[in-house]
Structure 1
Amino acid sequence: MSMDLEREIAAPELDAQEFDNYRPSEDEEFMNPKQLAYFRRKLLAWKNDILRESKETLDALQEESQNHPDIADRASSESDRALELRTRDRQRKLISKIDAALKRVDDGSYGYCEETGEPIGLARLDARPIATLSLEAQEKHERREKVYRDD
């Protein structure tokens, strides 16, 4: 997808210069059209980066699928391949979370905690745009997990 097309899809209400320089602010109405466009763009760019890296990984794995006569080289190559495949699996799961976040942008629920309905902080969303819980709800969730894990 070209950057111009991505911009048009991601932020129709921002001109190109605003689009590149805009950062959400606590002084604005929460999840206004500019903020939604900003996070849509951030999510799409992240997804595109992951897909590009995955394609590069697949290309490299296909090139590397040669037979190594030395057993140490073969073992090293297989270890590298296993690591790449695990990374790719994590990225696949991340893409599904990005897609879910994009759906929340579309349905108007993006930026709000799934447990409390309260706004998730802009700084948290900027750092982790796929966040579904507010910082407080996430900490509470992690404390519950820790309690059950210690049993």
Structure 2
Amino acid sequence: MDQKELEYFREALNKMLNDILQKGKETIEDMTESGETYADPADRATAESDRAFTLRLRDRERKLIKKIQKAIKRLEDGDFGICHACGDDISIARLKARPVTTLCIACKNSQEEEEQNRGD
């Protein structure tokens, strides 16, 4: 992978990280500022459901933050874009679709087949 491609992924990963962190800040602000009371129990239930959904999304994003940070570390260490299973290069198209990936498409397919066979 050339320097231009590495820089593209560095910028993409940093943008992903900053976007997630910004959403997290906005969620915290919204939840601390929202002191609404609801006269209708259905409205309260809807608000609580929305809040729980938002928190689940933020939890998924929290896990993604760790993956992004690891991908940035791989960029710094020089092993970004190399499959952890077979050692081959991960295609640029796959990295553009999922820049945090650690497996090439062939190894990911094999992993998914194994999980499916085990019933995971």
Compute the TM-score of the two structures, normalised by the length of structure 2: 0.94
Residue aligning to 2:69? 99
Moved more, 53-62 or 130-139: 53-62
Provide the aligned length of Structure 1 versus Structure 2: 120
The answer for the alignment partner of 2:87 in structure 1 is 117
Aligned pairs for 1:61-100 (under 5 A) are 61-100=31-70
| Residue in 2 that maps onto 1:12 | none
Cross-structure match for 2:119: 149
**Partner Cα separation in structure 1 for residue 114 and residue 75 of structure 2:** 28
Name stretches of at least 5 consecutive residues in structure 2 with no aligned partner.
Answer: none
Residues in 1 aligned to 2:101 and 2:35: alpha-carbon distance in whole angstroms:
37
Q: Structure 1 residue 109: deviation in Å?
A: 0.7
| Secondary structure of the corresponding residue to residue 119 of structure 2 | helix
The higher-RCO structure (CA 8 Å, 6+ apart) is: 2
Percent identity over the alignment? 47
- CA shift for structure 1 position 129: 0.4
Superposition pairs of residues 135-146 of structure 1, within 5 angstroms = 135-146=105-116
Can you give the 5+ residue segments of structure 1 that lack an aligned partner in the other structure? 1-30
Q: Over aligned residue pairs, what C-alpha RMSD do you find?
A: 1.2
